[in-house]
Amino acid sequence: MLPLLLLAPGLLPSEPTTDLSDLFAPPTTAELLAVEADWASRNPVADGWQVEDSALIAGFRVDVVSHLVDGHRHYGAVRYPAQFQPGGSHPVLVVCHGGNNGVGLGSLLGLDSLTPGTCLEDQAFVLLPSFRGESLFAGPMGTFLSEGPTSVIDRDVDDTMAMLSCVLEEIPEADAGRVFAHGGSRGGAVTLVLSVRDERIQAAVEFFAASDHTLPSIQANCEALAAAGGGSGSNAVSNHAWIYAAEPYLAGTLSLAEARQVLHACSMAFFAHRLPPLQAHHGTADPAVLYEQSERLVEVMTDLGVAPPCFEFFSYPGGGHSAGSMPGCGQRLEDLLCDAMSGQLDLDACDCRFWPYCETSPNTVGSGASMTHSGSASVTADDLVLGCSGLPPGRPGLFFHGPLANSAPLAAGTLCVGGSITRLPVVITTASGAASWDLDVAAAGFEAGETVYFQFWYRDPAGSGATSNLSNGLGVQFCP
């Protein structure tokens, strides 16, 4: 018989955890800033460019090209426009492929059959990157294996950005001012991340892309896999979250912070304010990337106030995980991209953006102060009014701004603004606990395309000993 000491409940082996609430909890501002800092630390530059081979495929010149990224040789295909003019200027379309088994030149031809017109094939360079650890199947030119370990979505974007840089540097006819992106499934998610990270992307079209890897259904699926000791997720997004975040976290090969960063870095719902004009498509019966992913994206874009043509969503009742199940999607894709490439779509108007960010803190009158705004972000209109609500009445405070987002403790709240901070004049909060300031955009020197972060500081003696507090933050991207 075992000694009673060994049977004591506190000494029994603990059961493996299946509760992943900590992993899937909403991200903090500091965590999202860490993702952006990681992106900024990478250097997917143009290096080691080579043209490996060239052939005439279906009437088009197609080059297999390679370059170095993170020390690995990466391969892709470049299709020249049918109406290519040496010394001319042609737009660039980056096509991000789906699936996990490499990519063939059929992805280029498939785009032509999807779109009823010829504007893309006539006018645009089409770039088709393979992704690291996967092959480019280039028909008569052979098969080319990109080096490096696979890194679905995350480093796929690095490979794509580096290839784009090479093309723009090495092919003078490729117009750096007219770059667009498209992809579906995995390629749709890559398109979203690419469009957030790379300011050269002027507009994008995604088919059935994942926008948020932290949704409750994904957590539940990963917890079920943990309880079962592993296996495959019930859909592609849950499977990705399990393989790249939940499973290594439970195994101890990733810390909680590292695993959470993996999820956040491929969840563009948290970075939607940085998206260029976007067109999204999804079938309601998609079994691989559930329709809830697009519902989440629509929710976020609606909250941001982004409307057509800056954001358009097309839903296809009964549609599945294929372009063929979404009738009319090719025409809509072509309409947006061709209008954008020809200058018929006013992309500058889409630069006007407002978004709340960062955490507010409880104050003596409630749950905290929140930034508001009225007017527009147009530097020409110059009619922006900053506001703040949820404040203690009759107290002094001031709006301030800076060029960077931040998340650092200050007084009883969080400092959400970084960089060189500019303070606006002191105001007294109203009897209803509000404050406002008519911002002189011209005097402040703000320019179209510039992003500025605003916050409100106010006096509020609290029991904790702090004598002041802060609101949340408000990001503003100015437009002409």
Lookup: tokens for 391: 């404040």
CA distance 331 to 335: 6
- The DSSP annotation for 384-452 comes to -EEEEESPPTT-EEEEEEESEEEEEEETTEEEEEESS-EEPPPEE--TTS-EEEE--HHHHT--TT-EE
Q: Which of 385, 345, 380, 370 is nearest to 476 (CA)?
A: 385
What pLDDT does residue 11 have?
39
What pLDDT does residue 348 have?
82
What pLDDT does residue 2 have?
34
CA distance 300 to 310: 13
List, for residues 334-389, the tens digit of each pLDDT value: 999 999 999 998 888 888 999 999 999 999 999 999 999 999 999 999 999 999 99
**Burial per residue of 178-206, b for 16 or more beta-carbon CB atoms within 10 angstroms, e otherwise:** bbbbbbbbbbbbbbbbbbbbbebbbbbbb
Given the structure tokens 């629509």, which residue do they identify?
Answer: 298
Contact between 452 and 353 under an 8 Å Cβ cutoff? The reply is: no
Q: Is the peptide bond before 461 cis (omega within 30 degrees of 0)?
A: no
CA distance 313 to 281: 6
List, for residues 67-82, the tens digit of each pLDDT value: 999 899 999 999 999 9
What pLDDT does residue 257 have?
98
- The residues that bridge with 280 in the sheet, in sequence order, are 206, 313
For 168, the 3-state DSSP assignment is: helix
Contact between 368 and 361 under an 8 Å Cβ cutoff? The reply is: yes
- The DSSP annotation for 266-305 comes to T-GGGGGGG--SEEEEEETT-SSS-THHHHHHHHHHHHHT
What pLDDT does residue 16 have?
58
Contact between 348 and 323 under an 8 Å Cβ cutoff? The reply is: no
CA distance 313 to 298: 7
What pLDDT does residue 110 have?
83
Q: What is the DSSP letter of 207?
A: E
Q: Are strands 311-316 and 278-283 parallel, antiparallel or unpaired?
A: parallel
Q: Which residues of the chain have pLDDT under 50?
A: 1-14
What pLDDT does residue 464 have?
66
What pLDDT does residue 12 have?
40
